[in-house]
Amino acid sequence: MSDRLTDIDIARLREIRATDPEAIRAALASRVRRPLLEGDGKLFIVAADHTARGALGVRGDALAMSDRGELLRRLVAALERPGVDGVLGTPDVLEDLALLGALDGKVVVGSMNRGGLQGASFEMDDRFTAYSARGIVDSGLDFAKLLVRINLEDAGTAETIEATARAVSESAALKLPIMLEPFVSNWVDGRIVNDLSTEAVIKSVAIASGLGESTAYSWLKLPVVDDMERVMAATTLPTLLLGGDPTDGPDETYGRWADALAQPGVRGLTVGRTLLYPPDDDVVSAVDTAAALVHADVAATTQNA
């Protein structure tokens, strides 16, 4: 964890939120911004928008991400590492990080639809309950992200797709890059399961790529699956790889990421729980390993250290 972030800092966040809410706007307005792409044109983004959808579990611990102070410590530790370009989160997380001064020089990605709560009967009706495109621009953030799950047997998918198309159009009009995370999803024994077959991911790419009045600012966020060459052949949109749920061993996971990062059109990684809550609890080591996969200069520095 970060030695810089203490219980005193967490107490200060609580005090500011209670007594000086305008400090949040000021912190966002004064943060140091950077271009979306720099140097090698790659991005490594740490994701932290899971909690707003009620997804608090990591491996066998259903409440692993429930301690906000602990999550912030892990995020600050990750953002301090070389090669970490930015963070993805909902307003509550990003505003805490802004007050902590942790967003300077980072790409900040606002998460938009968190209304499809994990385990809910209405999970496929994935309402836009966090940022809007306009809200992201007004907050001085750099990138939008949305989740679009496609379930052909659930009518809730229709409204989600329509709202997604509207968000893409609004983002394009504002010249705001937007990251679409598509899945083909199904109900299995009362819960939503994403289909991670190559064919299903290709279908999700085709559907997501056609949403909105313009795709000039559209990116994709895709899972690493078998035959990523075929997946990436399905689109010309710039793509970030998502880390997924931490189920495989670290060496196998990193190996799959490395292979997928070599595919044309892949611009980097967006990873959350896998790195923030690694099996050995060494956040810094996990983040450094992933950063070295994305950025050659970080890999060279690590090898020469």
**Three-state SS letters, the chain:** CCCCCCHHHHHHHHHHHHHCCHHHHHHHHHCCCCCCCCCCCCEEEEEECCHHHCCCCECCECCCCCCHHHHHHHHHHHHCCCCCCEEEECHHHHHHHHHCCCCCCCEEEEECCCCCCCCCCCCCCCCCCCCCHHHHHHCCCCEEEEEEEECCCCCHHHHHHHHHHHHHHHHHHCCCCEEEEEEEEEEECCEEEEECCHHHHHHHHHHHHCCCCCCCCEEEEEECCCCHHHHHCCCCCCEEEECCCCCCCHHHHHHHHHHHHCCCCEEEEEECHHHHCCCCCCHHHHHHHHHHHHCHHHHHHHHHC
pLDDT at 1 exceeding the cut of 50: no
Q: Enter the pTM of the model.
A: 0.94
Quickly state the pLDDT bin for 3 (edges 50, 70, 90).
Answer: low
- The pLDDT > 90 percentage for the chain reads 88
pLDDT at 284 exceeding the cut of 90: yes
Quickly state the pLDDT bin for 299 (edges 50, 70, 90).
Answer: confident
Tell the CATH superfamily of the 7-304 domain: Aldolase class I (3.20.20.70)
pLDDT of residue 122: 94
